[in-house]
Chain A
Amino acid sequence: MIIATGNHAVSYGVRAARAEVIAAYPITPQTQIIEKLAELIQSGEMRAKYIRVESEHSAMSACIGAEACGARTFTATSSHGLAYMSEMVFWAGMGRFPIVMAVVNRTLAPPWSIWNEHTDMLAQRDSGWIMMMCGSAQEAHDTTVMAYRIAEDERVLQPVMFGLDAFSLSHTAENLELIDQEVADGFLPPLNPESLPVYMDPDNPVTFGNLLGPDKMMEFRHLIKEAFGRAKGVIEEAAKDLSNATGRKQHGLIEDYRSSDAEVVILAMGASSGDCKDAVDILRDEGIKAGMVRVKTIRPFPGEEIASSVRGAKAVAIVDRDYSYGFGGIIGREAASYLSKKPLNYIAGIGGRDITVEDFRKIAEDALASAERGELGIEKWWGMRGFEG
């Protein structure tokens, strides 16, 4: 057991996964991840090549190039870095390069903000990446290793990005159990270049990515759709195997907390889910049957799993730390399309504002009261203060 920040937990996960090429560009609050990796490589504790690129766009481009030569790759970014990288994020997804990336979720400016929000990652949701969100430093560490297993599984072969909330997770030091190297090696076999959809080999030359007419593009894209269909099973399988290997409960698609008999269920995501669980416990002590479902995987979206977990509830409160202007909370809207009863959508924690235990408790009570009044399907911006106060 060590004490480590969420960021360092990711770095140690990358080491355990034996990533071979790391290309990265610094951005607050991701910097600790790449600083630690650079240190591990330079001190000889980790055998990998670090490419000190001049931008996030180049970071992803370099990962794509290295992955195409059979190397296991990693990068990490955040917010503006991810937005700047976006063209190559799609290139990696559509090109089926099983790269792994950590995204420290941060608000996009203007005005400048370094604090947490999930919109940065969610804006990349149609890029062909498997997307996960971590709830703790331990989960960030474990998910790093799990991400490679999922990405490189021959039934999937798509890149994986996973998020960790700026500061509340990235910079908060927690107890951390490192995955033993033998355990990691047993769980994650070496990358098999023969399995890669794109492999640059002069002895077996292929042209990757030249022009494709409308006569075949749909079929190419359908291959990705099918990979995402299989990914759900692969994710659950990886979570189960890593649970067995580490002795720690790993979550694949969702985490279900006391929701089976709940009358009000909060659907949460990211680091604040820990506070949400505390709120659930308090409400239970007060006699209110509350529960939580946490979205661990965003793509493929666990709509059926969420629907199944909240089936008996009178009220479902979906808390979004993100927003799609002119549409609504992104998770709220997506989850709603799977639910038979309209949920309530709470927009909270935008720009890094705290969502406290008390907030979650009040959100649950508000949702329950609204449901009793028959007011469902409403969006509420939680805790608005006005500009004067």
Chain B
Amino acid sequence: MITLKDLPVEEYYLPGNAACSGCASALSTRIALKILGPKTIVVIPACCASVIQGYYPKSPSKVPIMNTAFAATAATASGIVAGLEVKGRKGITVMGWAGDGGTADIGIQALSGAAERNEDFIYICYDNEAYMNTGTQSSSATPRGAKTTTAVMGKGERKKDVPEIMIAHDLPYVATACAAYPLDFAEKVSKAMKLKGLKYIHLLSPCPPGWRFPTEKMVEVGKAAVMTGAWILYEWEGGKYTLTGPSKGLIDKAKRRPLKEYLAMQGRFSKIPEAEVEALQRDVDSKWEAMKKKLGA
């Protein structure tokens, strides 16, 4: 169990970068790199994280970063792993850091390929549930009902469940996390770091400008996502699901806060019809029913 005191004081992702105030991606990159340490190579495709690095010749990163094209995170990371292997360069962790568009949409083919080959790197999808870098267009990870610039009345389709897709690849380790629970996330990164093969972590990253909530509310919104059950924190390892963090106590529906509390915090769900809120609540409930079966509970 990682506590705040266990997190290294050393910083590898520095302040003064170009992230928006309250950015969950920048914060979580900082946490992940504290765990992974200096012997890390990060691969970043086109996404918010490519902009967060700011302008050449400056960089907030104390570890090497390989920027690559939108669809290419997992393939570029595969090449890096192979290059390190053939050159006998041991003890270096490779981490892909991609958004939901670069993971659930344009990058899923390369990710699936790398997963099938079980390439030895950590892939973290920071999921802000839309194309935020280009101004909040819908992605397949955008939840139903959320308004985006390409779904002005709210998206009609449900969110693609990428962690389940990755589980279907029978990886050594799959986990979900939320930027509002950095220690839970740190624990998962730490676990992933010790395993060989492709480790996948799907990190919910509340986005102040995209989800339309005040910048200081990022942690509150993230906590609400978990406490209402809209986002479930779990690990999957060796065919077994385990709930983590506050999600452990939320199997009983009565323990979960009503979903509308989470929705009400965000402008992207403003003026959502009551019937739609009920439908979304049913989505959450059925997701938990499915999780209960997976847990054997």
Interface of A toward B, CB cutoff 8 Å? 20-21, 23, 48-49, 51-55, 57-59, 61-71, 73, 87-88, 91, 193, 198, 200-202, 205-213, 216
Contact = CB atoms under 8 A, between A and B. Distances in A.
A51 B82 contact: yes
B63 interface: yes
Contact of A52 (B43, B50, B117): B117
B29 interface: no
Interface stretch (B68-76, B247-255, B286-294): B68-76
Contacts of B67: 207-210
Interface stretch (B54-62, B175-183, B200-208, B222-230): B54-62
Contact of B56 (A54, A55, A202, A212): A212
B158 interface: no
B53 A211 contact: yes
B239 interface: no
Contacts of A200: 41, 64, 66, 80, 83
B211 to A, nearest CB: 24
Given A51-B82, A61-B72, A70 B65 contact: no
A88 B67 CA distance: 12
A202 B38 contact: yes
A54 B51 contact: no
Interface of B: 38-41, 43, 50-51, 53-56, 59, 61-69, 71-72, 74-87, 89, 92, 109-110, 112-113, 116-117
10 contacts: A21-B82, A21-B86, A61-B68, A65-B66, A66-B80, A68-B83, A73-B83, A201-B64, A202-B63, A202-B92
A211 B83 contact: no
A207 B113 contact: no
B72 A21 contact: no
Contacts of A213: 55-56
Nearest to A191: B87
Contacts of B66: 65, 68, 198, 200, 208-209
Contacts of A207: 53, 56, 59, 61, 64-65, 67
Given A209-B67, A211-B53, A71 B78 contact: no
Given A53-B113, A91-B68, A66 B86 contact: yes
B109 A54 contact: yes
Contacts of B50: 210-211
B43 A205 contact: no
